[in-house]
Amino acid sequence: MAVATAARFPLRAAAEPVTPATVADARRLLGARLANTRRAAGVRQVDLARMVRWSRSTVASVETGRDGTAVNSTRVLVCV
C-alpha cells in the first residue's frame, strides 16, 4: 500500500524548495482525494457542508484546490 501511495503522490526531494506552485499542486491533489472519497461514500457536497458547518461553495473550493483553508480545517473533511 505504501508503494502505491508513494507512486501516486511522490515526495519532493529534501533540497527542493517549497514554492507557491508546489503548494498549489499539493492542494489540488488533496482536494481531488477528498472529492473522490466523498463521492465513494455517496455524500453530496451540500450534505458534507452541513456536517462540517461550511458552505457548499467552501467544500467545492477545497475539493478543487482553490481554497487555502487551514490544514486543521481540511482534517475535518478527512475525518468525515
CA dihedral 62, 32, 65, 60 (to 10 degrees): -40
Q: Would you state the cell numbers that stand for residue 76, as one nine-digit string?
A: 475535518
Contact 63, 36 (CB under 8 A): no
Q: What's the chain's Rg over C-alpha atoms? A: 14
pTM: 0.67
pLDDT in tens, 10-61: 665 666 788 888 888 888 998 899 899 999 999 999 999 999 888 899 889 9
Q: Which 8-state DSSP code applies to residue 19?
A: -
42 vs 80, higher pLDDT? 42
